[in-house]
Structure 1
Amino acid sequence: MKKVYIQSVASISAQKTFEKDYFLEEIEDYEANVINVINPVYKDYIPPAAARRMAKGIKMGVVASKIALHDAGLESVDAVITGTGMGCVRDSEKFVSAIIDNDEQYLTPTSFIQSTHNTVGGQIALELQCKGYNFTYVHASNSFESALFDAKLQLELNEEKNILIGGVDELGDHTTKINKLINHIKAEAVKSSELLVSNTTGAVYGEGANFFVLSNEKKDTCYAELASVKMFNTLAEEEVLQEFKLFLKENNLKVEDIDLLVLGNNGDIEFDGYYNNLSKEFNNTQQAYYKHLCGEFHTASSFAFWLASKVLKIQSLPEVAKLNQKTIATYKTVLLYNQYRGENHSFTLLKKC
């Protein structure tokens, strides 16, 4: 089977990640329990008339995909695969509100049509005139990893040459209120830099779009090799370490072979124990975290994928992402671990090209 390479990366997040040469040098340190993305100038990528009709998630996805394609030096791809937890939730909220306000009468279908989860992937394909494979995964916090796994299989089997993949989620007012009521969002505002010492339940929620071009052809400009992806629906805290060791064994690696461990700590005192237990096995390994920069959302792990890819290419880890003070001269192997509220666990292994 062929190897899979990350040819380009693009990110729209609560930081200025849409700028090509930016790598977390200047940080927005928020004090909030919900953080929005820093919007690029959408009219630079999408005609204003078209942008006005697009939901925020669609605009983020379309722009991130265009940046990723430009970075890869491509005008189109063979397939588009997206992952999203909530889809275009704002349009869903608009449609449901219209049903209630209008007593289920005189409804226009626009918001309903644009609220489906595959709207982002479909809009990207229309922009690219890509008539190939187009699929959207809605697997909660494993949505991005599912898209990643699908693309990896197709490229390894040489079914496609270049595949655009991405994870995108947007914030909706009503959905945010519900998550606050059920304590999934922190009750109080938290400073980003103090997220892990907040000692409270819930997370700081965010949104974003992160897109990548994957290929089975190695180029001088590629960021990293995608070596392995593994997902689990449910794991007990004590089972995470056991599965992790099996994952390393399957990839002929030992703990000491991992140069960087990227963890999805989100400051939720009830569930960060999953990360802390694994972290103890890596006392001599450099560790990183990222949800204080982008917030928690179903496809937040795609931001970690962006971070790890940049680290392997640039060979530098930004100070703001460091979870401990270990140092390493060369990054060759990076492992990502993510879960959300004890479910949908994933291990992703990247290697230096």
Structure 2
Amino acid sequence: MKAVYINGIGSVSIQDQDIFDFNFELISDLSDVNYAKHPSYKEMIPAAMIRRMAQGVKMGIYASQNALNEAEIEIPDAIITGTGMGCLQDSEKFLRAIIDNEEEFLTPTSFIQSTHNTVGSQIALRLGCKGYNFTYVNGANSFENALNDAKLQIENDEANSILVGGIDEISDYTLKLLKKIDVIKNENSSIDFKNPTSIGVPFGEGANFLAISSEKKSNSYAEICDVFVQNKIEISDLKQTVSTFLEANKIDLSQIDVLVVGRNADSNFNEYYTEMETLFEDKTQIYYKHLSAEFDTASAFGVLLAATILKKQEIPNELLWNNKSMSQANYVLCYNQYRGKDHSLVLLRNC
């Protein structure tokens, strides 16, 4: 089977655009809701189209194009996206119009643009890409399933270059519902990720894309070794699950140099991360959701950071969870779960 390499990345997040240069000023104090810092889209999208596009579509187009540019890919063989909730803003517009107009005289625009595959299709239309185009909607495993699909296609010689990413956006009414059921923190004070004392997460949005290929380049970020997803895992089974995953890739726990965990400041469900950190207590550990906030495809942001660490062979102090230093990184393991479900492992190797 062919190897799979990350040759380009692109992101729109709540941070500045140069965050992956590891030379940045962080938004260190997250609030309960954190909106993306939108770049200028007019260089990529005609002004008339920008006005009609949802935030998720604009973020996706910008992040995906940056990933393609860096990988020097004009048109990929496939576009695969993951999203937890899709284009929520247009979904809410359409539902509101149904109520306001008493189910009469409805325009289809918001409905057409509200589907979960809107971002992937808009990227394809813009690029003129007529290849495989698929969107995964699997909660917090949405991005990982998209990544696994892309990896398998390249390994089995079904495609040479693929654009893969995760996109989620914030919408007002859904925010209110998530706050009512305590998914989002109901506080505006500074959020402590190291010692959280309240339930719920700081919520965010973003688009994070990888341009992957079977071709290794001089500026490649990392090799994608394997991707694993499982909906439910008992804490007592976590160590065996990780060991089995690594054994399948012919490595053991001692060979992991950096552990990337998706801690999100929720005082519930931390025991999974604690168990993982115990398994790799003598390794460098980093966290990232104090930079991205939490949303269904936030783990894509973590994978981008992991790939950048392998390429640059450095870790900014702002990312460190423990005090273990890293001399060289050959293997990075990313672990994420959300509210005790949707567990994922992504193994990257230095190339």
Separation (CA, whole Å) in 2 of partners of 1:350 and 1:31: 28
Q: Deviations over 1:84-143 (max 9, x none)?
A: 001100100111111111111111111110000000000000111000000000011000
For residue 217 of structure 2, the aligned residue among 206, 216, 219 is 219
Of all paired residues, the percent bearing the same amino acid is 49
Structure 2 length normalisation: TM-score?
A: 0.98
The answer (yes or no) to whether the contact 2:18–2:24 under 8 Å persists in 1 is no
2:196 maps to amino acid: S
Separation (CA, whole Å) in 1 of partners of 2:20 and 2:320: 20
Separation (CA, whole Å) in 2 of partners of 1:141 and 1:345: 8
Q: Deviations over 1:147-178 (max 9, x none)?
A: 00000000001111100000000011111110
For residue 338 of structure 2, the aligned residue among 327, 340, 344 is 340
In the alignment, what sits opposite 1:39?
Answer: 38
In the alignment, what sits opposite 2:155?
Answer: 156
In the alignment, what sits opposite 1:319?
Answer: 317
Residue 250 of structure 1: how far off its partner (Å): 1.2
2:343 maps to amino acid: H
1:99 maps to amino acid: I
Unaligned runs of 5+ in 1: none
1:188 maps to amino acid: E
Q: Does 1:253 align with 2:251?
A: yes
Separation (CA, whole Å) in 2 of partners of 1:20 and 1:237: 33
Q: Does 1:114 align with 2:113?
A: yes
Report runs of 4+ in structure 1 exceeding 3 Å deviation.
none
Separation (CA, whole Å) in 2 of partners of 1:339 and 1:113: 31
Matched positions, count: 351
Residue 195 of structure 1: how far off its partner (Å): 2.4
The answer (yes or no) to whether the contact 1:196–1:267 under 8 Å persists in 2 is yes
Matches within 5 A, 1:281-296: 281-296=279-294
- Please give the secondary structure, in 2, of the residue aligned with 1:116: coil
Separation (CA, whole Å) in 2 of partners of 1:31 and 1:116: 30
Residue 7 of structure 1: how far off its partner (Å): 0.7
Unaligned runs of 5+ in 2: none
Matches within 5 A, 1:99-110: 99-110=98-109
Separation (CA, whole Å) in 2 of partners of 1:196 and 1:96: 40
The 1:20–1:44 alpha-carbon spacing in structure 2 relative to 1, beyond 3 Å, is: farther
In the alignment, what sits opposite 1:303?
Answer: 301
In the alignment, what sits opposite 1:7?
Answer: 7
For residue 198 of structure 2, the aligned residue among 200, 207, 211 is 200
- Please give the secondary structure, in 1, of the residue aligned with 2:33: coil
The answer (yes or no) to whether the contact 2:260–2:334 under 8 Å persists in 1 is yes
Separation (CA, whole Å) in 2 of partners of 1:204 and 1:238: 28
Residue 179 of structure 1: how far off its partner (Å): 0.5
The answer (yes or no) to whether the contact 1:225–1:352 under 8 Å persists in 2 is yes
- Please give the secondary structure, in 2, of the residue aligned with 1:11: strand
Residue 24 of structure 1: how far off its partner (Å): 5.3
Question: Aligned-pair RMSD on alpha carbons?
Answer: 1.2
